[in-house]
């Protein structure tokens, strides 16, 4: 093999960290840039065909292992921002623009897209579980796959399904899901509310129309208003106040911010692979980079991931190159930490 797994991982972390625009761009940098050639690339270099073969057919199990290992490390050290709300997991899907040659990525005629389904820890701001499908892949079935015992899925209106609500309750899955304002609500029992609260409705209800789409199991419905916008949250969490339900749903926006940040600043979706295997490798490498940054930012700055710290790392690399050496202060070089993690894991 011209490229070992460790070399492949280093190259893809470098790809995400440095915002390269394509595999061709990355390979050119690995060949011509002094720092990248000496610290990142395989000793004898790497050709496009060998890099493509490694990405599209090897390493998926190893990338998943490193991702899960880093996730465990991050979970052990990152503080939980809202522990009183329980273990909250934001669940959402995001489309990835594909090329017409990606025949597996069905979406619509003359358009190809893939879809990534992510469970995002809302208390620690790190990704949890991830699945990849074609662009038409339904999102609701992944709720049961993403949620573990004790976790609460927090979802937007796209996940509203009265049949699923019943099934999730039957399976012991906890959830908070925004529903459409026009959904029919039959009140079984009203809960007291504070007139000065943003919460204007709190009751045990059944949703939907009898003999059409009505829920078989009662659930809790909380309504609250922010800036004149009304939110209706269906849930089976009875241990929280209405205000806490509202606070928990507000955290769901963190997964939207994660997708936007991930795409914009780590360039996860500048495709370097066309196969489903290769795209999953690329996505896992992006998540690994994000977790490394999350650990780094917490350990050195007691902060969450920010583009400011990413820019600092890029400037450090450039300064080291200009100085003609590869100075690595203790505990401050991201790629050294990444290499140590890979070596420990493998």
pLDDT in tens, the chain (346 residues): 678 999 999 999 988 887 788 889 999 999 998 888 888 899 888 999 999 999 999 999 999 999 999 999 999 999 999 999 999 999 999 888 888 889 999 999 889 999 999 999 999 999 999 999 999 999 999 999 999 999 999 999 999 999 999 999 999 999 999 999 999 999 999 999 999 999 999 999 999 999 899 999 999 999 999 998 999 999 999 999 999 999 999 999 888 878 777 766 655 667 888 899 999 999 999 899 999 999 999 998 998 888 788 788 778 767 876 776 554 444 444 445 555 554 554 4
Q: Identify whether 235 is part of a domain.
A: yes
Neighbouring residues of 239: CB distance < 8 A, sequence distance ≥ 6 = 86
pLDDT at 337: 52
Please measure the distance between the N-terminal and C-terminal CA atoms of the chain and give it in whole angstroms.
Answer: 17
Q: Identify whether 130 is part of a domain.
A: yes
pLDDT at 305: 83
Distance between CA atoms of 15 and 334, rounded to whole angstroms? 13
Q: Identify whether 201 is part of a domain.
A: yes
Give φ, ψ of 211 to 5 degrees: 65, 10
Read off the CATH number of the domain in which 150 is found: 3.90.350.10
Q: Identify whether 96 is part of a domain.
A: yes
Burial class (CB in 10 A: 0-12, 13-18, 19+), 50: middle
**Residue numbers of the domain that contains 133:** 76-257
Give φ, ψ of 227 to 5 degrees: 50, 45
Q: Identify whether 313 is part of a domain.
A: no
Q: Identify whether 215 is part of a domain.
A: yes
Q: Identify whether 278 is part of a domain.
A: no
Global pTM reads 0.86
Q: How many domains does the chain have?
A: 1
Q: Identify whether 172 is part of a domain.
A: yes
Distance between CA atoms of 314 and 325, rounded to whole angstroms? 15
pLDDT at 155: 96
180 CA to centre of own chain: 25
């Amino acid at each position: 093999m011209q490229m070992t797994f460790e070399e492949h991982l280093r190259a893809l972390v470098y790809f995400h960290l440095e915002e390269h625009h394509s595999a061709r761009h990355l390979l050119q940098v690995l060949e011509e840039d002094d720092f990248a050639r000496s610290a990142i690339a395989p000793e004898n270099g790497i050709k496009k065909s060998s890099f493509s073969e490694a990405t599209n057919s090897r390493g998926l199990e190893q990338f998943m292992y490193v991702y899960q290992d880093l996730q465990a490390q991050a979970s052990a050290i990152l503080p939980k921002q809202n522990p009183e709300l329980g273990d909250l997991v934001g669940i959402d899907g995001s489309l990835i623009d594909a090329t017409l040659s990606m025949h597996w990525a069905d979406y619509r005629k003359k358009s190809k897209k893939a879809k990534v389904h992510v469970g995002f820890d809302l208390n620690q701001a790190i990704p949890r579980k991830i699945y990849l499908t074609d662009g038409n892949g339904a999102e609701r079935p992944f709720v049961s796959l993403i949620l573990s015992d004790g976790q609460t899925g927090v979802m937007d209106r796209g996940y509203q399904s009265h049949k699923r609500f019943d099934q999730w309750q039957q399976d012991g899955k906890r959830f908070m899901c925004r529903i459409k304002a026009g959904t029919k609500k039959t009140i079984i029992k009203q809960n007291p509310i504070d007139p000065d609260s943003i919460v204007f409705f709190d009751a045990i209800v059944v949703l939907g129309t009898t003999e059409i789409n009505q829920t078989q199991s009662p659930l809790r419905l909380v309504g609250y208003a922010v800036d004149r916008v009304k939110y209706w949250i269906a849930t089976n969490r009875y241990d929280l106040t209405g205000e806490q339900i509202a606070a928990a749903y507000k955290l769901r926006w963190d997964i939207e911010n994660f997708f936007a940040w991930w795409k914009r600043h780590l360039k996860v979706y500048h495709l370097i692979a066309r196969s489903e295997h290769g795209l999953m490798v690329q996505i896992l490498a992006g998540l690994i980079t994000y977790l490394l940054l999350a650990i780094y930012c917490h350990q050195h700055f007691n902060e969450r991931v920010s583009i400011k710290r990413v820019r600092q790392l890029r400037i450090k690399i450039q300064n080291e190159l200009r100085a003609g050496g590869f100075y690595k202060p203790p505990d401050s070089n991201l790629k050294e930490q990444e290499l140590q993690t890979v070596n420990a894991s493998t």
